[in-house]
Amino acid sequence: MKKRQFRRAKKAIDVSPGESVRIMRELQELSQNELSNLTGIPQSTISAIENQRVNLGVERAKVLARSLKCHPAVLVFPGWDIDKETAA
């Protein structure tokens, strides 16, 4: 059986943690109000996170990740590339 060869996709843009929250929320067709109701985080705070006026923070990332059905690292470190950096 022939082993498949895959090419890694090229990174087109840098995404901030706030933008990653917005992207994940929009992919799941949730409004900021709906995400607020799911997480208990005020809609104004979600807006501030998405617009980089407030830092996401690890604890909020955990709460948001649960509702967005993803790992918190997807939100906190959206541009991290394991091939370029080593884990501590």
Q: Is residue 38 part of a domain?
A: yes
Domain containing residue 47: CATH number: 1.10.260.40
Q: Dihedral sign for Cα 25, 30, 34, 37, please.
A: negative
Q: Is residue 11 part of a domain?
A: no
Number of domains in the chain: 1
pLDDT (average), residues 14-34: 95
Number of H helices, E strands in the chain: 5, 0
Which pLDDT tens digit goes with each residue over 32-79? 999 999 999 999 999 999 999 999 999 999 999 999 999 999 899 877
Q: Is residue 44 part of a domain?
A: yes
Q: 84: pLDDT confidence band, cut at 50, 70 and 90?
A: low
Half-sphere exposure of 28 (CA within 13 A, CB side): 18
Q: Is residue 85 part of a domain?
A: no
